[in-house]
Amino acid sequence: MPLKDKKNRKIYYNSWREKNKEYLREYAREYQKKNRKRLSNNAIISHREQLKKLKEELYLLLGNKCVRCGFSDFRAFQVHHINRNGGKTRKKFRNIEYLKYLIIEAKKQIKNKPSIELLCSNCHAIEHYDDRIKLMKRGQKDFKNRGGKSGRSKLIEDDVREIRKKFNNGYSIQGLAKEYGVGRLCIRNIICYRTWKRVE
């Protein structure tokens, strides 16, 4: 039997799929047609519920109240990174992956020094405002989390330079957008220096 061997099994199924392409496509189309509503609704609801559950778990692990002032309404909870590496970790993980990572960190900190803590949004804002004042006093110009330092940004400065270079060498906007996983408008803004102005 070819199915016992993993490599052969893959080859066998791939060739079967190749032969029955039309049938599979038709089947998938029919299935989607019949279950469109159910599929889309379920996907949205389950995603939200998953997020909600993970957040509840995380807050419980972190004590369910603000560490500074004791505020205990979950709607204003924020996770503070004590080592100021929140932006970097945000880049590695997105959405649910990020929450899962935070939960692992929270579980770790029973043994080790805490790396994250739960703050209310007021205390969190105050905490980071003080950071900025410190940096300003030290004379650091770039005290804002701009551009690639921001955790939300998909691009870094090198990407921006590359995009501009490639566009000058004849790459299309659409192709660049696809390559870097961003929208076309984003690429256009970069090329026109509407965004990322300070990157040469």
Query: Contact residues for Zn ion (CB under 5 A)?
Result: 66, 68-69, 71, 120, 123
Nearer to Zn ion, 123 or 155 (CB): 123
What pairing do the DSSP bridges indicate for beta strands 77-81 and 116-120?
antiparallel
Find the radius of gyration of the CA atoms of the chain: 24
- Closest approach of Zn ion to the CB of residue 67, in Å: 7
Nearer to Zn ion, 120 or 160 (CB): 120
- Closest approach of Zn ion to the CB of residue 13, in Å: 56
Nearer to Zn ion, 71 or 74 (CB): 71
* The token pair that represents 111 in the structure block: 């043994």
- Closest approach of Zn ion to the CB of residue 179, in Å: 43
- Closest approach of Zn ion to the CB of residue 70, in Å: 7
Q: How many CA atoms lie within 13 A of 176 on its CB side?
A: 24
Nearer to Zn ion, 123 or 160 (CB): 123
Long-range contacts of 120-128 (CB under 8 A, 24+ apart): 120/66, 120/68, 120/69, 120/71, 120/73, 120/76, 120/77, 120/78, 121/76, 121/77, 121/78, 122/69, 122/71, 122/76, 123/66, 123/67, 123/68, 123/69, 123/71, 124/78, 124/80, 127/80
- Closest approach of Zn ion to the CB of residue 68, in Å: 4
* The token pair that represents 176 in the structure block: 């660049």
Nearer to Zn ion, 120 or 191 (CB): 120
- Closest approach of Zn ion to the CB of residue 164, in Å: 43
Alpha-carbon distance of 61 to 90, in angstroms, equals: 20
- Closest CA relative to residue 51, chosen from 107, 102, 115, 109: 102
Nearer to Zn ion, 78 or 89 (CB): 78
In a 3-state reduction of DSSP, which class is residue 80?
A: strand
